[in-house]
Amino acid sequence: MSSDVQHFVGGDSVVGEGGREGDVFNPATGEIRAQCAYASAEDIDDVARVATLAGKAWAKTSIAKRLEIVFNFRNEFIAARDDLAELIGLEHGKTLSDARGELQRAVEAIEFACSMPHLTKGEYSLNIGGEIDNFSVQQPLGVVACISPFNFPAMVPIMMSTMAVAVGNAVVLKPSERVPSAAVELGRIWQKAGLPDGVFNVAHGDKEAVDALLTHPGIAAVSFVGSTKVAEYVYEEGCRHGKRVMAFGGGKNHMIVLPDADLDLVADHFIGAGYGSAAQRCMAISVAVPVGEQTADALVERLVPRVEALQIGPYDDESADFGPLITSQSKQTVERFIDESVSDGAELRVDGRGLELSGYENGFFVGGTLVDHVHPNMSFYREEVFGPARGIVRASDVDEAIQLVNDHELGNGVAMFTRDGHAARRFFEEVDVGMIGVNVPVPVPAGYHNFGGLKRSKFGEGYLFGPDAARFYTKIKTISVRWPAPTDDADGPDMTMPTND
């Protein structure tokens, strides 16, 4: 087997011994553009062995040197952005402008990792009692695995792994097998930045590779981003094998619209937040929840022409608003959800099914779709629709709107549009959702805040980036020290419970 996209292990391209490979498509044309090697359990064992050896030396590297390399990585990454955007467009299908936006957000995570010395400097308490000093230190875990999704081929791997590297761990990245090339390029960028070989590795594959990472005794922690069903599996299986796990699932992100909101502004934000990147974002707005029939009718009146005007095309079409879905199966799934919404009684206001583009007839395209009068018992509402089909769920009042959000099993993101500060304050106090926007449609925090949902959108206690990432990727040791004076005499054993007197 001679795969086009190989593993990146110990600073080299490696085919591996798995003997399996998978197709990598250009989703705009439906054509196979490469073959990607799939790792076996034996391959994962090999990469874990390489990472363990490299990680031991890296953990002992001075903070100053590690910080220098992370900063070098930032500069090399910025220099490579155009090439990375091209790779992302070819394998994911998102437009070049969208890919560049993804890469810019990734820079935030790299820059925040440069604050690692402050985040891991520990604590010290002098003379807690009996001339004993207490202090704590944070140390790397060893080898950690990062399992990333297809929808952000560079940003999410960087958000997962950069802090892990900065605090002294070695990393095994398992990117989505749908978009493998950007991950390998990240390995080469780390190499240019001066990172020792074996500290950052890439192993491709499917469930076999994932299971090998989850069960390998040399992997100390696992971070995951993907669907809720798989996130739950990764969390349970990883924990069962004694690993620290943070696993992020999907979202059904509501946009509550109060009658006092600027509806033209709302409509523009809904289009951008709901349909950007063909809605293949876990933080995309899934449904608008206008409060009151008059608000709903006025909003839908504004949305319909905007959805109809959306331009769909390949990644390098500068006029395109968004591109194709990632696979033909994804296209079929989204169109099935649209079919079911109509069967369940919803009103299809804009229909994007059956879209064919001249010259791209075999691409995985679905046009912008808007479904009105969606109800909570519909599969279109209950499940995450990972494609450009968005819904309108009408609420009679604010209480019903908030209850809709809280009753849904997913709690990734939510937004409210209003001019009423009291209503907004009540909203963010009462909604059971991890990331909340007030007049902000996609409330993804900056790289120095924690990212994560609630309910079945997140399993485990870690956060993807922000201050908590440094905690997740380190272990804490607390040390008690007493240095007796030379004149102290032993006075026999003390059998009572130690106190700080």
Distance CA 172, CA 143 (A): 7
Q: Does residue 350 sit in helix, strand or coil?
A: strand
Q: Verify whether residue 114 is a known catalytic residue.
A: no
Catalytic residue among 36, 114, 146, 282: 282
Q: Residues 148, 92: contact at Cβ < 8 Å?
A: no
How remote is the C-alpha of 321 from its chain's centroid?
22
Distance CA 458, CA 452 (A): 7
Q: Which two tokens stand for residue 16?
A: 């591996």
Q: Does residue 255 sit in helix, strand or coil?
A: strand
- Given the DSSP bridges, would you call strands 253-257 and 413-417 parallel, antiparallel or unpaired? parallel
**How buried is 266 (Cβ within 10 angstroms: 0-12 exposed, 13-18 middle, 19+ buried)?**
buried
Distance CA 67, CA 285 (A): 37
**How buried is 31 (Cβ within 10 angstroms: 0-12 exposed, 13-18 middle, 19+ buried)?**
exposed
Distance CA 30, CA 80 (A): 27
Distance CA 390, CA 392 (A): 7
CA dihedral 11, 16, 22, 23 (to 10 degrees): 50
The identity of residue 183, as a single letter, is: A
DSSP-derived secondary structure for 146-178: EE--SS-TTHHHHHHHHHHHHTT-EEEEE--TT
Distance CA 231, CA 246 (A): 9
Q: Which two tokens stand for residue 413?
A: 């993101």
**What residues act catalytically?**
282
